[in-house]
């Protein structure tokens, strides 16, 4: 890290002690390096008072004159450049993960597996963009052996930028779906945008969902259900709070329900094999994985079991979630609360209608819709079990009328359906 500042002729960096790197003023400790991003410049005084060792900002108030404050032209650009310099000097392998769905759970499961053998760190929460990725890199330790980075995007050029910063040694592309169509228009463009990772990774180190029509032609290690994959998934068996599956005739289990989570688990198995983790440790790592919240998360509340899958939604992830919910071994009444899927572009209502036609055929007793897009789409289907709600409070009241039910919550982040959990 100091090499970057040396190139900028900042001599004081020689004596600088950095405990951690933060972009949130609430997390500043003594000897933190604070990047004042966006409105972060308003918290520079607070950062100084908390004992930050260095503060970097591009809009520092003129009245602040402290040797610990470094004025730059572009705070985010400096964050990215510093992360890249730091990454070059780290003796660790980086795994980059992108795709339309399943990135976070795949990241968590891979981390669980590799942590059985290596000192391993991963993206915290959803820090997967042009700010979150460099921030994560700067918080890797020199003692870490593997860093797992989730890489998100919404338009062209973003994955390319993240790969230039992170210089990944291994790559994972989970799938190509109907996400960010408001900006990318079609799946072909989603593939082009996600596929910006491909030139950065040797094909022997690139892991792909081989059943995806866009990824079939890409050279790499394929994981999927079809016979020509390097790692073939089969024999899925749902349990109360987990799913068992086979990969190349060996049995594994993930602490989540759903066929899609078996795909995520199989990807972790493949990565584990690449890093020579034993099958015993792979099994142990999958079950011990520390999973992110709101990804098919089971929450017990009095007479209601919530399946909180409300972090985000696209047509593919909505389909996976509903089908997995349908397959749950649960004798209680099932109710699905589904909200709008955002950023789908001009055909958004059709995507919502397709989901309603799917859920109408499933063995889910009642379906509650929330959001203007779901409401509009509901006009295209006549189904007694589908009901439209204008307010979350009304959904809560309706749910309170039942005893011993299981409720799925699924919608885009902007819908915040987790607020229904009471």
DSSP 53-89: SEEEESS--TT---TTEEE-S-HHHHHHHHHHHHHHT
d(Cα 169, Cα 71) in Å, to the nearest integer?
33
Beta partners for 366? 335
pTM over 0.85? The answer is yes
Residue 417: helix, strand or coil by DSSP? helix
Q: Quick one: which H or E segment has residue 261?
A: helix 259-274
Q: Which residues pair with 285 in a beta bridge?
A: none
pLDDT the model gives residue 38: 83
**pLDDT (0 to 100) of residue 127:** 93
Give the pair of three-digit tokens for residue 66: 């402290």
Choose among 397, 405, 367, 403: nearest CA to 385: 367
Provide the CATH number for the domain formed by 297-420 in this structure: 3.90.190.20
Where do the structural domains in the chain lie, given as residue ranges? 2-80, 90-288, 297-420
Is the separation of the CB atoms in 320 and 258 below 8 Å?
yes
Fold equal for 90-288 and 297-420: no
Quick one: pLDDT at residue 12?
55
306 burial (CB, 10 Å; 0-12 / 13-18 / 19+) is buried
Query: One digit per residue, pLDDT tens: the chain, 422 residues?
Result: 555 555 554 555 556 788 899 999 899 999 999 999 987 778 899 999 999 999 999 988 888 888 889 989 999 999 999 999 999 999 999 999 999 999 999 999 999 999 999 999 999 988 999 999 999 999 999 999 999 999 999 899 999 999 999 999 999 999 999 888 888 999 999 999 999 999 999 999 999 999 999 999 999 999 999 999 999 999 999 998 899 999 999 999 999 999 999 999 999 999 999 999 999 999 999 999 999 999 999 999 988 999 999 999 999 999 999 999 999 987 899 999 999 999 999 999 999 999 999 999 999 999 999 999 999 999 999 999 999 999 999 999 999 999 999 999 999 999 999 999 98
Kindly give, in sequence order, each residue whose CB lies less than 8 Å from that of residue 186, ignoring residues fewer than 6 positions away. none
Q: What residues pair up with 96 in beta bridges, in sequence order?
A: 149, 171
In CATH terms, the fold of domain 2-80 is 3.40.1390
Helix (H, G, I), strand (E, B) or coil at 41: helix
CATH architecture observed for domain 90-288: 3-Layer(aba) Sandwich (3.40)
Q: Is 310 exposed, middle or buried (0-12, 13-18, 19+ CB in 10 A)?
A: buried
Contact between 184 and 151 (Cβ < 8 Å): no
pLDDT at 6: 53
DSSP-derived 3-state class of residue 351: helix
pLDDT at 9: 46
């Amino acid at each position: 890290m100091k090499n970057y500042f040396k190139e900028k002729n900042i001599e004081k960096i020689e004596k600088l002690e950095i405990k951690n790197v933060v972009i949130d003023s609430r997390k500043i400790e003594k000897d933190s390096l604070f990047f004042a991003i966006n409105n972060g410049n308003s918290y520079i005084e607070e950062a100084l008072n908390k004992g930050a060792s260095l503060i970097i900002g591009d809009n520092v108030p003129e009245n602040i004159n402290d040797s610990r404050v470094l004025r730059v032209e572009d705070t985010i650009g400096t964050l990215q450049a510093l992360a890249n310099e730091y990454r070059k000097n780290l003796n660790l392998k980086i795994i980059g993960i992108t795709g339309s769905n399943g990135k976070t759970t795949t990241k968590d499961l891979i981390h669980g597996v590799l942590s059985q053998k290596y000192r391993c760190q991963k993206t915290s929460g959803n820090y997967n963009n042009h700010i979150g990725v460099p921030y994560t890199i700067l918080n890797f330790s020199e003692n870490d052996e593997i860093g797992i980075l989730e890489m998100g995007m919404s338009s062209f050029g973003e994955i390319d930028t993240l790969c230039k910063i992170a210089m990944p040694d291994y790559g994972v592309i989970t799938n190509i779906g109907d996400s960010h169509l408001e900006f990318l228009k079609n799946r072909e463009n989603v593939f082009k945008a996600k596929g910006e990772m491909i030139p950065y990774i040797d094909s022997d180190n690139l892991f792909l969902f081989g059943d995806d029509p866009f990824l079939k032609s890409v050279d790499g290690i394929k994981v999927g259900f079809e016979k020509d994959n390097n790692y073939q998934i089969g024999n899925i068996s749902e349990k109360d709070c987990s799913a068992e599956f086979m990969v190349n005739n060996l049995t594994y289990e993930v602490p989540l329900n759903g066929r899609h989570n078996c795909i995520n688990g199989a990807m972790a198995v493949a990565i584990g094999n690449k890093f020579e983790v034993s099958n015993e440790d792979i099994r142990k790592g999958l079950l011990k994985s520390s999973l992110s919240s709101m990804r098919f998360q089971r929450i017990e509340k009095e007479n209601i079991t919530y399946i909180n899958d409300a972090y985000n939604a696209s047509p593919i992830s909505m389909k996976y979630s509903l089908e997995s919910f349908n397959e749950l071994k649960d004798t209680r009444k099932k109710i699905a609360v589904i909200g709008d899927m955002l950023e789908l572009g001009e055909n958004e209502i059709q995507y919502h209608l397709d989901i309603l036609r799917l859920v109408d055929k499933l063995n889910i007793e009642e379906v509650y819709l929330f959001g203007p897009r779901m409401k509009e789409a509901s006009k295209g289907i006549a189904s007694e079990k589908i009901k439209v709600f204008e307010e979350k409070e009304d959904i809560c009241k309706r749910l309170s009328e039942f005893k011993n039910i299981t409720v799925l919550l699924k919608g885009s982040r902007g819908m915040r359906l987790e607020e229904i959990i009471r």
